[in-house]
Chain A
Amino acid sequence: MSKHHVSTVINGEPIEFLCETQQTLLDVLRDELGFTGSKEGCGSGDCGACSVMVDDRLVCSCLVLGAEVDGCRVETIEGVAAGGNLHPLQQVFLNEAALQCGICTPGIIVAAKALLEKNPDPNEEEIRFWLAGNLCRCTGYDKIVKAVQQAAAIMRS
C-alpha cells in the first residue's frame, strides 16, 4: 500500500508530504518536515505541548493524523514570528520571564495567540481556562498569565 500524498499550506507556504496512516501531524511536522518546535510531551492530548492551528482551530497535533490535513492550513510555532520580528507574545514572554525550561512555551504561545485572535481582551479567568490544556511544570502559570495579559494590551493599542 502506498503512502498518502498530502498537500497543505504550513505557515503560509504550500508544502506536500508523504505519510503513513498512523503518522500523526506531530510526527510529520517533527520527523518529516523538520518543524521540531512542536513538542511531544504525552502523545495523548493531555499536555498541549504539540499545539498547532489547523484551519484556524487550536488542536493537539498528536491527535490529528497527517493524512487528515490534506487541503488544510496549518500554523505552527515556527510561523508565529514574522520573519525576524517576534510576535508581541514572544517578546513579552521574554521580557517577563514567562518561561523557564521552555518546553511548553511553543504550545502556549500558539494557544495564547489563538485566544487573542478570538478575544482581544481576555480576563485572568478566561486566559487560565483557555490555557488549561497546556501543562507547565516550571512556572506555576503566574508569569504566563501576566504575559498574555500584557501582550493583549500591547496588541490592542
Chain B
Amino acid sequence: MLTYNKPTTVDEAVALLKQPGTRRRVLAGGTDLLVQLRSGRLQAEGIVDIKRIPELQNIREENGGFRIGAAVAGAALGENAALRRMWPGVVEGANLIGSTQIQGRASLGGNLCNGSPAADGVPALIAAGVRCTIAGPGGRREVPVESVVVGPGKTSLAEGEFLVDFYLPAQAAKGGDAYLRFIPRTEMDIAVVGAAVNLVLDASGVCTAARVSLGAVAPRALLVEAAGKALVGTRVDDAALDAMAAAARAACAPINDKRGTIEFRTHVAGVLAKRAAKIALERARSRA
C-alpha cells in the first residue's frame, strides 16, 4: 500500500519529500496525480498531501499584488473578487481547467507542476510575470514561473522540493490581461492552443509593456518576447496585432497529435493571440 502523510507545515512536508528512496509524490487537488497513478503512467510509493498546510491554501493581498497558496482550488480563486478584478486573465486560465467538479479540487500549483505543455493555468501566469516560491531541503527560493517547467511532465524542482505559493505582482494602473484557449468542444477538453496576453498602456493609450505567452504549441508554455515587442510603442492597432500574431506563429513548435495538427495549432495560435490581446486591451483601457 502507498504511504499517505498529511503534514501541516512546509518543513514537515520537506522532511517527508527529501527522504531518499521513498518516491513520494505531492498531492494537492489530485486531478492529475490520481489519474496518472491509476493508469500506471506515474509510479509512487507514497503520497504527501499538502492541503492541510495553511500557507498553501491562502490567498492574501501583498504589496498591491497577491500571494496565492499553491494548493488553492480553482473554484476558490474564482470566488476572490479582488483577484478577479486585478488579474481576470489569470483567473480565467485557472477556471478553465476541467469541469466544475475538477475546479472544486484542481490547483494552479498542480496545474503548473504537472508539466503539461497545454496547462490552462500557466500562460496567464507567465504573461503576468508571476514568481514562484519553492521550498526544499536547502530552504526557500523564488523563481520566475516560466522557469519551473522544463519539458513535458518535467520541472526544474530538485529532489525534496515543492511549490509553496505564487506571487502575482500588482497590475499596472492601466494594465489588463486575458487568456483564451482553443478546444473543439465548449468544455472538458485539453487546450489545443492557449494564448495569454498581459499589456500595459500609458495615459495616452500607447502600449508600454506587453507579455505574450502561448500554451500547447511547444514542449512547454512559451514566453514569446518578439510578440510582446510587436505591441510595445503601438496603440495596439490592427497592424500591431498582425505583427504580434506573426511573431506568435513563428514561435510555435507544435506537434501533430490526437488533439491538433501543426498547421492547425500554428494558425490558431496567431488567431487567439490577437483575440486575447484585444480583450486585454479593452481591460487595460477600462481600468480606472
Give A residues with C-beta under 8 Å from B.
Answer: 1, 3-4, 20-22, 24, 43-46, 48, 51, 54, 57-60, 62-65, 67-68, 111, 114-115, 129-134
Contacts and interface: CB of A to CB of B under 8 A. Distances in A.
B101 A133 contact: yes
A10 to B, nearest CB: 17
Contacts, number: 88
Contacts of A46: 188
Interface string B90-107: 000000001111101100
B49 interface: yes
Contacts of B99: 45, 48, 60, 132-134
Contact of B35 (A22, A44, A68, A131): A44
B101 A22 contact: no
**Of A1, A4, A68, A111, most B-chain CB atoms within 10 Å:** A68
Contacts of B3: 1, 21
Given A1-B3, A22-B1, A44-B35, A132 B186 contact: yes
Nearest to A56: B104
Contacts of A51: 101
A59 B101 contact: yes
Contacts of B143: none
B73 A57 contact: yes
Interface string B68-85: 000001010000000000
Nearest to A59: B104
Would you call the interface of chain A mostly helix, strand, loop, or mixed?
mixed
Contacts of B100: 58, 111, 114-115, 130-133
A58 B260 CA distance: 31
A104 B41 CA distance: 28
A132 B103 CA distance: 12
Given A57-B75, A57-B105, 11 more contacts: A22-B1, A22-B37, A45-B99, A57-B73, A59-B105, A60-B102, A65-B34, A132-B100, A133-B98, A133-B100, A133-B101
Contacts of A45: 31, 35, 98-99, 101-102
**Of A3, A44, A45, most B-chain CB atoms within 10 Å:** A45
Contacts of B37: 22
Contacts of B1: 1, 3, 20-22
A22 B30 contact: no
17 contacts: A3-B1, A21-B4, A22-B2, A22-B37, A45-B35, A51-B101, A57-B104, A59-B105, A63-B29, A63-B30, A63-B31, A63-B102, A129-B186, A130-B100, A131-B100, A133-B98, A133-B102
